[in-house]
Amino acid sequence: MHQWWKSGVAAAAVVVTLLGGLTSAAVWPPPSGAGPCSVTKTANVAVPMRDGTILRADVYRPATSHAVPVILMRTQYGKEAAQVQPSRYQRPSWFAAHCYLVVVQDVRGQFASGGTFSEFTPDRTDGYDTVEWAARLPGSSGKVGMYGSSYVGATQWLAAEAAPPHLATIVPANTGSDYYEGWTYENGAFRLNFIEPWVMDTIALSAANHRGDTTVAHQLTQDDKNIDRWLHYVPYRSFPPFHPGDPAVAPYFYDWVAHRTDDSYWQRWALPRYYPRISIPVLDVEGWYDAFLTGGLHNFAGMVSSGGSAWARTNQRIVIGPWDHIGWGRPESIAAPMLKQIGPVGNSPINELMLAWFDHFLKGIDNGVAHGPAVNYFEMGANVWKTTAAWPLPGTKWTNYYLSSGGHAASVAGEGQLVTTAPAAGQQPDSYDYDPRHPVPSVGGHSCCAAPGGSQGPYDQRSVEQRGDVLVYTTPPLATDTEVTGPISVTLYASSSAPDTDWTAKLLDVHPAGTVVNLNNGIQRASFRESSRAPTPIEPGTVYRYTITVWPTSNLFRAGHRIRVEISSSDFPQFDPNPNTGSWLGESTATRIAHQTVWHDARHPSALVLPVIPASASGKASTIFPM
């Protein structure tokens, strides 16, 4: 029984008149900025797919005699919600009041739409069919733009991969470039604290409600209340809440666990393969602590270099703000306290900027919103907006900060240093024992989906640094302000007593008062050091050169602050703990303790590699977003 019948709403279209002057008693969305067109809403409009499945959409129609473009959202989180909350987009009627046809559709197998839900699988063809259907709506000019965040960003890119002829532009926010790397896995590690709670409390739950399975829906709701317990459950391949063996509940989760390498299962959706087929302008919006930051940056750089036409390559823009996945700087948003302290300068401009973008690329208004490839980024620490023409920033000075100690860098009480001169011979390595039964806890980071439970955002790391299985390396107090903006990595020479293990790295800003703020983090599974498609074990005791990709940031390290990096072997529950056995917790419950050694001598120059931005290369700073 489909959702619209259960809710008592007839499947036939329902028309509701909306006033052109929107008002609301709620703080979000604000009532200001509505356009001149009054709006009517037609609910549950049938949208036929090529296989005969009927999806349902709400259509918001402006009162105008002119043909107008279409703005389309395809969501698995409920078309009536339309990602307005928590404090994100304006209402669909707000955009329609600016004289656009607005279509918000439930994806296949969710809420009011027919069919069986499966993550990723149908959204390329369903997206193509919906774009072309929307372009033919009465009153449509034939141009379609899309918008939405997270998976609703993925529905845009998946549609764009199919190249529907009437898709003119997309505005994806907080979304990735690859559903294996940087979405489900990260350099071989399973993104545990994103994947399990996300499936449990959103897509599996809403799909169960859609098909009328109240028993499973109730069980998932109860299990979500005990998510901490379930994050400890292994092996993942038999994770009970998703009913292994039952194809109705969440079979895609078990597919993800079964395909732990970047094989053909994932490659069919890998967006970089499709950049040359995509010939449209893209406005991408990301956050420094978002779960899919690297994917957004890859999409921007990939479309600039490999987009399907010179026009598309020129008309790419990305905005990166001081945000996590759903905390967009609004005063009432859910976000880490340190992000909220940034204040109004950090408020996302997405609604106004997106409207200007659509005005230009769908209506042809010359408003200056597109002026060649552009990166608008928020520099934390200084709390200002800056603009550049490329990513990484032109003029970046890649600077090595070498790990150094006399062999005693464990915990903040140790002697670990970061120095700018290469190490001399004779330095003793640092060592610690990593026990997967007692992993280093995640305190903030770039996970998903809401702080603080989602391991995302900036938090004081002093409690983590008390542990003996965390190596801590720090510069002296900086003599001058230092801007760090761009990709970050750690070159690590390390050995382990295990046939497989993990290496983690975290970049931090140490304030003079003692607060230690995480900027971003990364992980590298040892067996995936050379390939994500064909992992190979390591030889116990052998020193290997690893590159740990720490996700990008932009931060002004003020004079008197110190730069710090933490090295360890776990970050739980953001990532699954490596059991050190050569297997993983997706398949096995066995674990062992690994003795870890980090080398930093003349033969093994382990280093934090930072993108330092000289004052001559840094853009003009502004406390107002450059619309």
- How does pLDDT run across 365-394, given as a tens digit for each residue? 999 998 888 999 999 999 999 999 999 999
411 SS3 class = coil
Q: How far is CA 614 from CA 399, 427, 481, 509, 622, in A?
A: 11, 31, 10, 18, 18
How far apart (Å, rounded) are the C-alpha atoms in residues 439 and 231? 13
Q: From the candidates 58, 290, 324, 430, which is the catalytic residue?
A: 290
Give the DSSP per-residue string, 63-80. --SS-EEEEEEEESS-TT
pLDDT in tens, 196-240: 999 999 999 999 999 999 999 999 999 999 999 999 999 999 999
Q: From the candidates 118, 150, 348, 455, which is the catalytic residue?
A: 150
* 559: amino acid identity, one letter: A
Q: Please name the residue that has the structure tokens 């955009």.
A: 95
Question: Helix, strand, coil % (nearest 5) of the chain?
Answer: 20, 30, 50
Residue 25: predicted pLDDT: 39
615 SS3 class = coil
How far apart (Å, rounded) are the C-alpha atoms in residues 190 and 171? 28
- Does residue 45 register a pLDDT over 90? yes
Residue 452: predicted pLDDT: 79
- Does the annotation count 502 as an active-site position? no
- Give me the half-sphere count of Cα atoms (radius 13 Å) on the Cβ side of residue 168: 19
- Does the annotation count 325 as an active-site position? yes
- Does residue 17 register a pLDDT over 60? no
**pLDDT: is 12 or 46 the higher one?**
46
Which residues, at least 6 apart from 275, have a Cβ–Cβ distance to it below 8 Å?
Answer: 302, 303, 305, 306, 307, 308
- Does the annotation count 298 as an active-site position? no
Least confident of 6-20, 25-39, 323-337, 451-465: 6-20
Report yes or no: 77 and 152 within 8 Å, Cβ to Cβ: yes
Average pLDDT value for residue range 25-54: 92
How far apart (Å, rounded) are the C-alpha atoms in residues 11 and 9? 6
Mean residue pLDDT of the chain comes to 94
Q: Please name the residue that has the structure tokens 């992980």.
A: 523
Average pLDDT value for residue range 37-66: 98
pLDDT in tens, 411-457: 999 999 999 999 988 899 999 999 999 999 999 999 999 887 889 99
Residue 144: predicted pLDDT: 99
Residue 620: predicted pLDDT: 86
Report yes or no: 437 and 591 within 8 Å, Cβ to Cβ: yes
Domains of the chain: 1-173 (3.40.50.1820), 189-259 (no CATH), 397-613 (2.60.120.260)
Q: From the candidates 2, 298, 325, 360, which is the catalytic residue?
A: 325
Q: How many residues comprise the chain?
A: 627
